[in-house]
Structure 1
Amino acid sequence: MRFFLVFYFLIINLSFAQEIALLKYNGGGDWYANPTSLPNLIKYCNQNINTKIKTKPSTVEPSSPDLFSYPFVHMTGHGNVVFSDSDTKNLRNYMVSGGFLHIDDNYGMDEFVRKEIKKIFPNNDLIEIPANHAIFQKPNTFSGGIPKIHEHDGKRPQAFGVFIESRLVLLYTYETDLGDGWEDPEVHNNPIEVRTKALKMGANIINYIFNN
């Protein structure tokens, strides 16, 4: 019954009061990195894919019941991540019930966050998402899968996911740094075509959540 009510609330949220949130996690990592990225993504989506998301994203903690108020929660940072038992249980229930978590490695997060993802979903593998998946197809086509936005170690960009009954519930983007591309132009001095590419991919993520 609880899962049904949570899912119903998420549907209501999607229909009338679209809000997204940034995850404030423990462990010492800078969860607050890229402060202009979500506001810019929201603005882009509202202007280009007809969303009506509140312009200022909220902040939510992993164990908070408020987590269930948001269809999309974004997580980023450079360092350590630690989820408590209550965090992992709440995050799991949130995603199983219809929520979506996007983790964007801002560089240096990978070795820590993979362990925490496994704590949330011990029986589900984190698998690479193929380029033909719907999240790369509309409203913008990315025939090669996740785009490269910011260079770190010369590795190819990858998008990994956790699926529950064929539904993508967790997206982990690695060696792409979408959030850097969403930030204000002067922060990273990315050319307009790179920022546009990042925002278009972000719009695809939002579109997937709101329409699947």
Structure 2
Amino acid sequence: MQSAKFTFARLKYNSGDWDTDQRMPSNLLNSLLEYTTIPLDPEEKIVDLSSNDLFKYPFCYLSGHKLVQFSQQEAHNFKQYVNNGGFVFVDDCNHDIDGLFAKSFETQMSNLFGAQALKKIANTHPIYSSFFKFEKGPPPTSFELNGWGDDLIHDYLKAITINGRIGVLYSNKDYGCEWDYDFKNKRFLAEDNTKFGVNIILYAMGINA
């Protein structure tokens, strides 16, 4: 999983709806360009989870609203990818801990890694200080604050840790939709809300600020 440039790779899976928040990747890529000096591939890559192309990319993104039910090959690749050092950022677009995406994805993770593998991470985890500092843990989204989804503020993220490093970062906070806008509109924000996305990617890439 070596690449000269960072590539935002989105995982395509056969069940559910994988192609959500379509402007988000270019927004995060713009943030990486603005705040860091890491070399970038300017275009998002769509990667079939059942394909061996997956193993070309150290960072992948998976999202959706609906059922997550991996095929046998998808499940095999996902587990092998994570166990081999890959990083998957998974975001529940429903912002709902009891919704279909959340329940079905967590079932997949239990089947692949064990019932206790997906755990809450402390708000002092290094991912919250890998570049920008988030002393209170994961920043809230407007969807939480406006009472959308399950009407809860999720003050934690979950993760599957492999050999002391996060292999799967799992959010019910709907960051994908939060960051799903044209990057040119960031100038209208009091604070750039994509900064935590920069942290996630730099942590995934093993780059320290």
TM range (shorter): 0.7 to 0.9
Structure richer in helix, relative to its length? 1
Q: Distance in 2 between matches of 1:62 and 1:168?
A: 19
Q: Distance in 1 between matches of 2:175 and 2:18?
A: 15
Q: Distance in 1 between matches of 2:182 and 2:201?
A: 21
8 Å CA contact retained: 1:124, 1:163:
no
Q: Distance in 1 between matches of 2:115 and 2:181?
A: 39
8 Å CA contact retained: 1:99, 1:169:
yes
Is 1:67 the counterpart of 2:54? The answer is: yes
* 1:84-103 equivalent positions in 2, closer than 5 A: 84-103=71-90
Q: Distance in 2 between matches of 1:193 and 1:96?
A: 39
Q: Which residue of 2 aligns with 1:200?
A: 195
8 Å CA contact retained: 1:67, 1:94:
yes
Is 1:22 the counterpart of 2:13? The answer is: no
8 Å CA contact retained: 2:10, 2:47:
yes
Following TM superposition, where does structure 1 have runs of at least 4 consecutive aligned residues deviating by more than 4 angstroms? none
Is 1:112 the counterpart of 2:99? The answer is: no
Q: Give me the CA root mean square deviation.
A: 1.9
Secondary structure class of the residue paired with 1:143: coil
Q: Distance in 2 between matches of 1:92 and 1:162?
A: 11
Q: Distance in 1 between matches of 2:190 and 2:112?
A: 36
Q: Distance in 1 between matches of 2:56 and 2:33?
A: 19
Q: Distance in 2 between matches of 1:193 and 1:33?
A: 25
8 Å CA contact retained: 1:105, 1:177:
yes
Q: Which residue of 2 aligns with 1:6?
A: none
Which has the larger displacement, 100-109 or 176-185? 176-185
- 1:62-97: per-residue Cα shift (whole Å, max 9, x none)? 121000011110011111111012211111111111
Could you tell me how far 1:113 is from its partner in structure 2?
0.9
8 Å CA contact retained: 1:148, 1:177:
no
TM-score, normalised to structure 1, is: 0.84
Q: Which residue of 1 aligns with 2:123?
A: 131
8 Å CA contact retained: 2:27, 2:182:
no
Q: Which residue of 2 aligns with 1:37?
A: 24
Choose from 40, 58, 61 the match for 2:45. Answer: 58
Instruction: Letter of the 1:211 partner, please give it.
Output: G
Instruction: Letter of the 1:26 partner, please give it.
Output: N
Q: Which residue of 1 aligns with 2:163?
A: 165
Could you tell me how far 1:204 is from its partner in structure 2?
0.2
Q: Distance in 1 between matches of 2:153 and 2:67?
A: 23
Which 5+ residue runs of structure 2 have no aligned equivalent? Answer: none
Larger RCO (CA under 8 A, 6+ residues apart): 2
Q: Distance in 2 between matches of 1:93 and 1:60?
A: 15
* 1:169-188 equivalent positions in 2, closer than 5 A: 169-174=167-172, 176-184=173-181
Give percent identity, aligned residues only: 29
How many residue pairs get aligned? The number is: 193
Instruction: Letter of the 2:162 partner, please give it.
Output: I
Which 5+ residue runs of structure 1 have no aligned equivalent? Answer: 1-9
